[in-house]
Amino acid sequence: MITLVLPKLHIIYPIGFILAIKTPNFRHFRDFDPEVQYMELSYTPLYHYNSSNTTAMYSLLGPALFASLVAAHGHVTNIVINGVSFDGWDINSYPYAQSPPVVVAWGTPNTANGFVSPDAYKSSDIICHLNATNAKGHAVVAAGDKVFLQWTPNWPESHHGPIIDYLASCGAGGCETVDKTTLKFFKIDGVGLVDETNVPGIWADDQLIAQNSGWMVEIPSTIAPGHYVLRHEMLALHGAGTEGGTQNYPQCFNLQITGSGTDQPSGVLGTDLYSPTDPGILLNIYTSLSTYIVPGPTLYSGAVSITQTTSAITASGTPVTGTGGATGGATTTSTSKTTTSTTLVTSTRTTTTTTSKVTTTTAAGGGGATQTLYGQCGGDNWTGPTACASPAACSSSNQWYSQCLPTAA
């Protein structure tokens, strides 16, 4: 027993209180993590106060301090497709809401901005983050277009690592109800060590930091149309020298991919993507690496490597729900009859807005319905509405895709 002799103080110690203090990560010495994190100290007084003397006696009866780290790193706040921004999952409010808004991002109770550790690679948490639940809506994107994933600012500079993107077909039933444990992911993008001149070098996440905390990924034009989960992931390797020290930050979004591609690449289950001892997972990035092997299955042959850029936001998008107007990702035919396509809101092509030919169509192909702003209104085999609700006009982007754009003022 340790006895502390203190001046007599008439203090009533509360029974169990929590201090939230800002303190350097106390694993700092192990993982070289210089950024400040929240550490929660839960303090249970196990001291015995003896006031029968002129000096009070505080006897430490047992261990009293419990500390747990609350990581505060990041998540994707929104995605931008051709200038149209779709909200992500707001960890600060949606987990507490009875019916959170319909968004294109998968939900998670990960309010602490935390990560998934290698010891959870065999658990469903690695698929789309902690206890993730299906996004209730989706965004429409044409194969060949790019998706910009906007992360929260201030990704810690020390958290070097790769950025990896996958797609998994949800089949004809769509992604709003798909069982995540059946999704098979194929890799469409994987950037790791970019420049090693100054160890630990420049990594994909450093490029992300340089692009306003965002990452651009191109949806391969060869992918068959359908409903897909986009699994976007950052890995932090600052602690990867110790098995279990890598941090995975997977983020999932529902996309309906349109186009004329036919590829249906095979993929692997989320729980089979990684092993804690993969060469790209267990490694010391503070030594010179001649090469870095991006973890996960091999890159899909149609994957497109792009130069990172940001994406200006020109409009906010409304998530589409249901599978109307879709062609199932698991089928090669695209002959579905569209009856609910009036809800189809899709991406804009801001770069072509000023140059594309604007054709105002009066004949409505979708049973007299008009398409909403930024919705699809034409293209090969389009069976939905071809008229746009005023003041928008149907503008042809290419052979496969026309959309309702605001008429120029």
Ligand X SMILES: *[C@@H]1O[C@H](CO)[C@@H](O)[C@H](O)[C@H]1NC(C)=O
The CA-atom distances, in angstroms, between 21 and each of 24, 67, 230 are 10, 11, 36
- By C-beta, is 275 or 381 nearer to ligand X? 381
What is the spatial order of strands in the sheet that 47-50 belongs to? 2-7, 55-60, 47-50
Distance CA 292, CA 266 (A): 24
At closest approach, how far in Å is the CB of 290 from ligand X? Answer: 40
Exactly one of 51, 131, 242, 284 binds ligand X (CB under 6 A); that residue is: 131
- By C-beta, is 195 or 380 nearer to ligand X? 380
Query: What are 45's two structure tokens?
Result: 């007084």
Verify binding: residue 115, ligand X, rule CB under 6 A: no
Letters for 161-180 (x = contact with ligand X by CB under 6 A, - = none) are --------------------
Verify binding: residue 100, ligand X, rule CB under 6 A: no
At closest approach, how far in Å is the CB of 158 from ligand X? Answer: 26
Query: What are 150's two structure tokens?
Result: 């906007």
Chain positions 328 to 347 lying near ligand X, rule: CB under 6 A, are 334
- By C-beta, is 253 or 400 nearer to ligand X? 400
- By C-beta, is 114 or 162 nearer to ligand X? 114
- By C-beta, is 45 or 109 nearer to ligand X? 109
At closest approach, how far in Å is the CB of 29 from ligand X? Answer: 28
At closest approach, how far in Å is the CB of 130 from ligand X? Answer: 6
Verify binding: residue 381, ligand X, rule CB under 6 A: yes
Distance CA 127, CA 133 (A): 10
Helix (H) or strand (E) holding 295: none
At closest approach, how far in Å is the CB of 379 from ligand X? Answer: 7
Residues 6+ away with beta carbon under 8 Å from 72: 37, 38, 112, 113
Letters for 19-58 (x = contact with ligand X by CB under 6 A, - = none) are ----------------------------------------
Verify binding: residue 380, ligand X, rule CB under 6 A: yes
Distance CA 172, CA 324 (A): 10
- Give me the torsion for CA of 51, 52, 54, 56, rounded to 10°: -30
Which SS3 state, helix, strand or coil, does residue 405 take?
strand
At closest approach, how far in Å is the CB of 124 from ligand X? Answer: 9
- By C-beta, is 225 or 280 nearer to ligand X? 225
Residues 6+ away with beta carbon under 8 Å from 208: 151, 155, 163, 214, 215, 234, 308
Closest-CA residue to 375 (of 319, 312, 322, 323)? 319
- By C-beta, is 72 or 313 nearer to ligand X? 72
Verify binding: residue 109, ligand X, rule CB under 6 A: yes
- By C-beta, is 85 or 260 nearer to ligand X? 260
Verify binding: residue 403, ligand X, rule CB under 6 A: no
Asked if residue 249 lies in contact with residue 73, where contact means CB atoms within 8 angstroms, the answer is: yes
CA–centroid distance for 180 within its chain: 15
Verify binding: residue 400, ligand X, rule CB under 6 A: yes
- By C-beta, is 212 or 381 nearer to ligand X? 381
Chain positions 214 to 273 lying near ligand X, rule: CB under 6 A, are 260
Q: What is the DSSP letter of 384?
A: S
- Count residues binding ligand X (CB under 6 A): 8
Distance CA 394, CA 377 (A): 6
| Residues in contact with ligand X by the rule CB under 6 A | 109, 130-131, 260, 334, 380-381, 400
